[in-house]
């Protein structure tokens, strides 16, 4: 299977090129040349399959040209061993919990799968692969956890000093082994600039194998399609149309859902739910895509003003906004609505949701107001609420218990190397330490 650029200028790439480079040279994003189809019995049996079985099946469809099935099964077994739970709240509304991984957000699926896949793709190479990641919090912790102990790969994480939450900082700086954290005296943009400079440094790249792990990598999208297929399977016996609301920022999670739908998974419609960063709902309304600087909100992992996966969504729908509207609706909600919704869901069902999931819930309710016929609504719950106690505690009127998985990091000792925003210093660090 080849991977094509959404800009159609760079030539199709192999799986190895697409995953290790992250992005084609023409500035587009990679998509599989062909979206394999699940048909007939493959669809009928989804309801009887476990999440792991579905992960095996779909990954084989996409990757078995490039990876022997026995290896592929091993990659999937060791990365997709995460719980996915559907929690029915009421007639017609369920929550899909995708936060049972080690960092308690759905990003664990993509990061873990990408780590094992990369490790396989560099086998036989005697040089170590170095992954550079700039993070404002969540992506870095999922990547750190996903790549921990993976042979042949070292991860260097750059985070802005004083600008990530104390618990996020612990998750970034206490892993040890092949994970090194750099505490940069600047903001997130400085971190990202340092990483970009390293990628543009051809001398450095000639000597060392470096790659990125950011959310545009196709290897992170693929495993996210598995839980959409699982959801469709679980909902198959219920009457009506399956509609899935996805709390969205860079729109990678929604794109994975659209890919599952394109494979033939029976999903009737999607709702792209955003916080006040509303370029996507505006685009659906006006047909005009106007990126702008992001606003800060309580659902901060969705504070994106120029969603990177727009390129993929437009490509999948031949840049026809009417066609996109036929499959996706979108609304935006502000912080007050987000908090009120957390409270409402807690009072009605004694279920605590995080601010991102709350935005997803609001989108689903908006959709249901004008839905025709019977709808089975599923809201993707992207993070555990205990990751956001400062938002959640005041509205539920008590302290949310912190799960052991998150608490354990707090007791560990922070280890980070301080770094200025000067590229020379960062380069020196890389050349001193890289294999
Ligand atoms: C990253 C993230 C999102 C947004 O996902 P995209 O794929 O960027 O749209 C939503 N919720 C949480 C908790 C996240 O960490």
Decide: 279 and 306 in contact? Cβ < 8 Å.
yes
Would you place residue 196 in the very low, low, confident or very high pLDDT band (cuts 50, 70, 90)? confident
Mean pLDDT of the chain: 94
Q: Is residue 196 one of the residues assigned to a domain? A: no
Separation of CA 275 and ligand 1 centre (Å): 11
Q: Which atom of ligand 1 is nearest to the CA of 138?
A: 15
Phi-psi region of 369 (alpha: psi -120 to 50; beta: other; left: phi over 0): alpha
| CA distances in angstroms from 299 to 126, 248, 358, listed in the order given | 42, 10, 9
Please count the structural domains in the chain: 1
Q: Is residue 381 one of the residues assigned to a domain? A: yes
Separation of CA 227 and ligand 1 centre (Å): 15
Decide: 377 and 339 in contact? Cβ < 8 Å.
no
Q: Region 112-119: what's the mean pLDDT? A: 96
How does pLDDT run across 298-344, given as a tens digit for each residue?
A: 999 999 999 989 999 999 999 999 999 999 999 999 999 999 999 99
Q: Is residue 75 one of the residues assigned to a domain? A: no
> Lowest mean pLDDT: which of 34-38, 81-85, 212-216, 386-390?
212-216
CA 324 to chain centre: 21
How does pLDDT run across 279-290, given as a tens digit for each residue?
A: 999 999 999 999
Query: Which residue among 250, 308, 312 is best mutated to probe the pocket of ligand 1, counting the most ligand atoms within 8 A of its Cβ?
Result: 250
Is it the case that residue 137 has pLDDT exceeding 80?
A: no
CATH number of the domain at 285, please. Answer: 3.40.50.1100
pTM: 0.95
Residue 104, classed as helix, strand or coil, is coil
Q: Is residue 382 one of the residues assigned to a domain? A: yes
Q: Is residue 74 one of the residues assigned to a domain? A: no
Is it the case that residue 58 has pLDDT exceeding 70?
A: yes
How does pLDDT run across 167-176, given as a tens digit for each residue?
A: 889 999 999 9
The predicted pLDDT at position 216 comes to: 86
Q: Is residue 349 one of the residues assigned to a domain? A: yes
Query: Which of 27 and 397 is assigned the larger pLDDT?
Result: 397
Q: Is residue 294 one of the residues assigned to a domain? A: yes
Separation of CA 377 and ligand 1 centre (Å): 19
Ligand 1 binding site (Cβ under 6 Å of any ligand atom)? 105, 107, 138, 215, 247-253, 301-302, 356, 382-383
The predicted pLDDT at position 212 comes to: 85
Range of the domain at 345: 83-104+219-402
Decide: 362 and 228 in contact? Cβ < 8 Å.
no
Q: Is residue 295 one of the residues assigned to a domain? A: yes
Separation of CA 105 and ligand 1 centre (Å): 8
How far is 312 from 331, CA to CA, in rounded Å?
20
Separation of CA 246 and ligand 1 centre (Å): 9
The predicted pLDDT at position 435 comes to: 61
How far is 120 from 152, CA to CA, in rounded Å?
10
């Amino acid at each position: 299977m080849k991977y094509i650029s959404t800009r159609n200028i760079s030539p199709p790439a192999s799986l190895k090129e697409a995953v290790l480079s992250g992005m084609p040279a023409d500035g587009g994003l990679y998509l599989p040349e062909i979206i394999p189809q699940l048909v007939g019995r493959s669809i009928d049996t989804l309801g009887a399959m476990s999440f792991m079985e579905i992960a095996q099946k779909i990954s084989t469809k996409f990757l078995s040209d490039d990876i022997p099935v026995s290896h592929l099964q091993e990659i999937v077994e060791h990365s997709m061993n995460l719980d996915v739970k559907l929690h029915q709240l009421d007639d017609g509304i369920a929550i899909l919990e995708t936060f049972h991984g080690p960092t308690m957000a759905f990003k664990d699926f993509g990061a873990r799968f990408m780590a094992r896949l990369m490790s396989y793709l560099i086998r036989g190479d005697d040089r170590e692969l170095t992954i550079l990641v700039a993070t404002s919090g969540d992506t870095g912790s999922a990547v750190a956890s996903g790549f921990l102990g993976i042979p042949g790969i070292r991860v260097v994480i750059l985070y802005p000093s004083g600008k990530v939450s104390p618990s996020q900082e612990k998750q970034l700086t206490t892993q040890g082994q092949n994970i090194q954290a750099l505490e940069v005296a600047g903001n997130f943009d400085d971190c990202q600039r340092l990483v970009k400079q390293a990628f543009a440094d051809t001398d450095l790249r000639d000597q060392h194998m470096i790659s990125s792990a950011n959310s545009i990598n196709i290897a992170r999208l693929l495993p996210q399609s598995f839980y959409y297929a699982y959801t469709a399977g679980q909902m198959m016996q219920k009457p009506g149309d399956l509609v899935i609301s996805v709390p969205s920022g860079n729109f990678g999670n929604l794109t994975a859902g659209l890919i599952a739908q394109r494979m033939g998974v029976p999903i009737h419609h999607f709702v792209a739910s955003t916080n006040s960063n509303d370029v996507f709902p505006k685009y659906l309304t006006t047909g005009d895509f106007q990126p702008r600087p992001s606003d800060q909100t309580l659902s901060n992992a969705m504070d994106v003003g120029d969603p990177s996966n727009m390129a993929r969504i437009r490509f999948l729908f031949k840049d026809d906004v009417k066609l996109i509207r036929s499959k996706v609706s979108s609304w935006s909600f502000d912080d007050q609505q987000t908090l009120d919704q957390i409270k409402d869901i807690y009072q009605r069902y004694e279920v605590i949701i995080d601010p991102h999931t709350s935005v997803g819930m609001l989108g689903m309710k908006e959709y249901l107001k004008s839905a025709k016929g019977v709808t089975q609504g599923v809201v993707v719950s992207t993070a555990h609420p205990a990751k956001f106690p400062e938002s959640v505690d005041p509205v539920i009127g008590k302290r949310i218990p912190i799960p052991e998985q998150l608490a354990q990091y707090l007791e560990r000792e922070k280890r980070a190397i301080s770094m200025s925003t000067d590229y020379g210093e960062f380069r020196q660090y890389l050349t001193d330490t890289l294999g």
